[in-house]
Structure 1
Amino acid sequence: MQPSLLVVIVVVTALVFDFTNGFHDTANSMATSIATGALKPRVAVAISAVLNLVGAFLSVEVAKTISSGLVDDTKIGPAIVFGGLVGAIIWNLVTWFVGLPSSSSHALFGGLIGATWVSAGADSVHFGKIVEKVLVPAAASPVIAGLVAMVATYLVYRFLVRRRPATRGFKVGQIVSASLVSLAHGTNDAQKTMGVITLTLVSAGSLPSGASPPVWVIVSAACALALGTYLGGWRITHTLGKGLTDIEGPQGFAAQTSSALVILVSSRLGFPLSTTHVCSGGIVGSGVGRKEAPVRWRMAGRMVVAWLFTLPAAAIVGAVSGKIASLGNAGTIAVGVAGVAVGAGIYVLSRRNPVTAHSFQVPEPTPADPEPGRLAA
C-alpha cells in the first residue's frame, strides 16, 4: 500500500523526535567522562554517536513493546501518533533549554498516551502494560542503578584506589564504560522511534498488526539518533557532569558500568526504561559511595520533579495536538506549524546564553592536584 502524505509527515516527525532524543540524551553516556577529562567533548560525542548507531541494530524487543503493547493500534491513526510526537518533541526542547535531564522516553510515552486517550478513548490505552513496562521500571531503575553504583564506587575506592594519583589508571576504564553506555543507549532508545514508526505503519494499514520494524525503519532511526548524539546536548551534559556531584575517574567508571548493565538487561527483557533515569541514578549513587563527593540533593530534587511532570505534561500537549490533528489536514498543518514555531522560539532563546563544547574546561593536573576531578566553572 502506498503511504499517504500524512504517514510520511508522521515518519519524518518521528525521526525529528529521534534526533532530539540523541542530543537530549548525549549526557547520559559521556557526561562523567567529559567531567573528569577522560575524553575531550567532541571526541566523546563522536564515539557515542557511532556506538548509538551500532546499538540500534542489536535488538527490536523494545520496539515491539511500543508498537503493539502500549496502545491499541486498531483504534488510532497516523494523526494521533503525530500529535503524540509533537508533545514529546516540545517537552524535550523545553527540558533541554533549562538543562534538566528528563526522560525522552517518558515524553514519548506521555505524548502518545495523551493523544490516544483523548482521540480514541481510554479503552484504547493499555494501562496494565503501561504500569508493567513503563511506570514500574521508571521507579525501580534509578534506584537499582544508584545502589549498584554506590556499592561499586565504595569497593573501587576501598580496594583499588590506594592513593589519589592511582585514579589516572581509570581513564581507560571510563572510556570503555562510557562506550558501553552509548551502545546500551542505542539498543534501548533508538527502538522507541522504530516502535512509533512501526505503529504508524500498522495504523495506516501498511503493515500487519504485531509486525517487526522493517529494515529501512531500523536504519533511519539509528542514523537520526546518531546524528543528534554527535551534535551534543551540552546543557544537560553540564548538569550531569557538574551539577550532581564532583566526579573522579574511578567514580565515573563505577557509575557508567552500573548504568550500562541495568540498561542492557532491560533492553533484553523488552522494558523501554529511561536511560536518563538510570544514568542519573548511577551518578548520584557514585557520589554517595565516595565520601569526599558531596551529592547536590537540591539539583537531584529538581530532576525528580521534572521526571514526575514528564508523562502528564507531554500527555497534555499530545492530547491537544492529537485531537486537533485528527480533525483533518488543516488540523495536522496547524499542529505542525505550531510545533515548528515553539521549537524555533526555544532555539532563539537558547542562543542568548549558549552552552557549547568549549564550555567544558578541565584544569591541567598540578602536583597538588594530580587528577582533576571536576569541570571548571
Structure 2
Amino acid sequence: MGGRVQLDAVVLGAVACVFAVVSGANDGGALLATGLKLPSVRPATGILALTAALVLVPLASQRVALTFVTRLGGFGGPGGRQAMTIAVFAALVVVAVLSASGRPTSLTLAVVGGLTGAGVGWGLPVSGGAVALVLAVALAAPFIGALAAWVVARLLLGLTTRRRLRRWHLAGFALQCVAYAANDGQKMLSVFMIAMGVSRAPLPVTSVAAVLFAAGTLYGLPRAGRALSREIIVSRPLHGVAAELASGVTVVGCAVAGMPVSMTQAIAGALIGAGMSQGGGRVRWPAALRIVVAWVLTLPAGVLLAGTVALAVRLAEKGAGV
C-alpha cells in the first residue's frame, strides 16, 4: 500500500512539472502580449519579472491554491492524487485540442472542469456551491476587465503623453505579474501541494514551478502573444497599457476573495474594453467570438473527459482488487 501511495505521488509530481511548463506556454505569452508594442518591458525582462513574482508572491498568500485543493472538492484526502492527475490530464487534452483547432482557451477554466469531473468520477466530495461560485466569478471577470479597461483607456487618452504611457506600462505590467502569481498561477502550486501532501507550498516548490513556467513561456510567447495582441483588436500601445492595468486590478481583487480566475480571460476582456473606448470598429469581433466559444466548450469538455476517465480507472481498479 505504501508503495502505491509513493508511486501516485511521483506520477502526480511529474504531471505537476509538465503542467507548469504548459501553463507557461499557454499563459506567459498572453501576459507579455498586451505590451509588446511598447519597449518599456523587453520579453526577457518580462519573463524574469514573472518568474520572480511566481516565486515570491505565493509566500505571502496561497488562498487561490487552497481553493483548488479544498474548496472545490476533497482532493487532500484518499484518492486525491489519482483524481488530480486525471483532472490535469483532462485539462491539458482539452486545451490542446481546442488550441489545435484555432480556439485558444483558458487553462484555468479547463482545470476547474477537470477537477469537477474527476472528483465526481472518483467518488470524492465535490462542492457544487463552490464550483458554481468559482464559475460565476470566472464568467464575470472578463466583463469587469472590459469595463475597467474602457474607463482606464479613456482616462489615459486624455491625461497622459507617450512618455508617461511608458511609465504606466511598467506599473501595469508589474501589477499583472503580482496578480497572476496571486491568482491564476496558483493552479500550478495546487498540483504540487497534492503531490507532496502539504497544505502550503514552500519556497523550493514555488521556485521550481516558476522556473518551469519560464521555460514554457519562452516556447509559447510567439503564438500566445500573436493571438491576443493582434487577433482580438487593432491594438495600439494605449490599449495594451489600459488592458494591463484593468486586468491586473480585476484578478488581484478575485485573489483577495480566494476565487481563481483566468488571467487570459481577463486580458481578453480588457483588450476588448480598451478597443471599444475608441469605437467598436477596432475590435475584431469574429476572433473574439471564437475565443468566447472556446471558453464555453472548455468547462463541459473538461468535466466530461475527466469524469469518464476517473470513473473508468476507478472501476478497473475495483475489478482488479486494487
TM over 0.5: yes
Structure 1 residues 131-142: aligned runs within 5 Å: 131-132=132-133, 134-142=134-142
Q: CA 1:215–1:192 in 2, change beyond 3 Å: closer, same or farther?
A: same
SS in 2 for 1:232: helix
| Unpaired stretches in structure 1, ≥5 consecutive residues | 332-377
Choose which of 266, 269, 272 in structure 1 pairs with 2:260. Answer: 272
Deviation at 1:168, TM superposition (A): 4.6
Q: CA 1:75–1:7 in 2, change beyond 3 Å: closer, same or farther?
A: closer
Deviation at 1:227, TM superposition (A): 2.9
Choose which of 60, 63, 85 in structure 2 pairs with 1:61. Answer: 63
Query: Take 1:50 and 1:99, find their aligned partners in 2: how far apart are those partners?
Result: 31
* 1:286-339 alpha-carbon deviations (Å, 9 max, x no partner): 00012386111111111111111111112222223323444349x9xxxxxxxx
Query: Take 2:181 and 2:100, find their aligned partners in 1: how far apart are those partners?
Result: 23
| Unpaired stretches in structure 2, ≥5 consecutive residues | none
Deviation at 1:259, TM superposition (A): 0.8
Q: Contact 1:193/1:221 (CA < 8 Å) preserved in 2?
A: yes
Asked if 1:290 is matched to 2:278, the reply is yes
Q: CA 1:69–1:88 in 2, change beyond 3 Å: closer, same or farther?
A: same
Choose which of 176, 180, 184 in structure 1 pairs with 2:179. Answer: 184
Letter in 1 for 2:116: I
State the partner residue of 1:227: 215
Choose which of 77, 84, 88 in structure 2 pairs with 1:85. Answer: 88
Query: Take 2:116 and 2:78, find their aligned partners in 1: how far apart are those partners?
Result: 13
State the partner residue of 1:143: 143
State the partner residue of 1:349: none
Which protein is bigger by CA-based radius of gyration?
Answer: 1
SS in 2 for 1:34: coil
* 1:20-45 alpha-carbon deviations (Å, 9 max, x no partner): 11110123321121144554444444
Percentage identity across aligned positions?
26
Q: Please report the RMSD computed on the Cα atoms of aligned residues, expressed in angstroms.
A: 2.7
Query: Take 2:98 and 2:43, find their aligned partners in 1: how far apart are those partners?
Result: 21
State the partner residue of 2:230: 242
State the partner residue of 1:335: none
Asked if 1:4 is matched to 2:6, the reply is yes
Letter in 1 for 2:108: S
Shifted more, 294-303 versus 185-194: the winner is 185-194
Structure 1 residues 42-191: aligned runs within 5 Å: 42-73=44-75, 74=77, 76-98=79-101, 100-120=103-123, 124-132=125-133, 134-157=134-157, 159-161=158-160, 166-191=161-186
Letter in 2 for 1:140: A
SS in 1 for 2:282: coil
Q: Contact 2:54/2:206 (CA < 8 Å) preserved in 1?
A: no
Query: Take 2:240 and 2:281, find their aligned partners in 1: how far apart are those partners?
Result: 12
SS in 2 for 1:137: helix
State the partner residue of 2:17: 15
Q: Contact 1:48/1:229 (CA < 8 Å) preserved in 2?
A: no
SS in 2 for 1:253: helix
Query: Take 1:320 and 1:128, find their aligned partners in 2: how far apart are those partners?
Result: 22
Deviation at 1:98, TM superposition (A): 4.7
Q: CA 1:21–1:48 in 2, change beyond 3 Å: closer, same or farther?
A: same
Query: Take 2:147 and 2:126, find their aligned partners in 1: how far apart are those partners?
Result: 33
What TM-score, normalized by structure 2, do the two folds share? 0.87
Query: Take 2:43 and 2:234, find their aligned partners in 1: how far apart are those partners?
Result: 18
Q: CA 1:176–1:15 in 2, change beyond 3 Å: closer, same or farther?
A: same
SS in 2 for 1:189: coil
Q: What is the count of residue pairs matched by the alignment?
A: 316
SS in 2 for 1:53: helix
Q: CA 1:257–1:77 in 2, change beyond 3 Å: closer, same or farther?
A: closer
SS in 1 for 2:73: coil
Letter in 1 for 2:128: F
* 1:43-79 alpha-carbon deviations (Å, 9 max, x no partner): 4444433433333433111111111110123463422
Asked if 1:197 is matched to 2:200, the reply is no
Q: CA 1:234–1:53 in 2, change beyond 3 Å: closer, same or farther?
A: farther
Query: Take 1:20 and 1:37, find their aligned partners in 2: how far apart are those partners?
Result: 26
Q: Contact 2:116/2:131 (CA < 8 Å) preserved in 1?
A: no
SS in 1 for 2:310: helix
Q: Contact 1:266/1:273 (CA < 8 Å) preserved in 2?
A: yes
Deviation at 1:266, TM superposition (A): 1.3
Q: Contact 1:111/1:314 (CA < 8 Å) preserved in 2?
A: yes
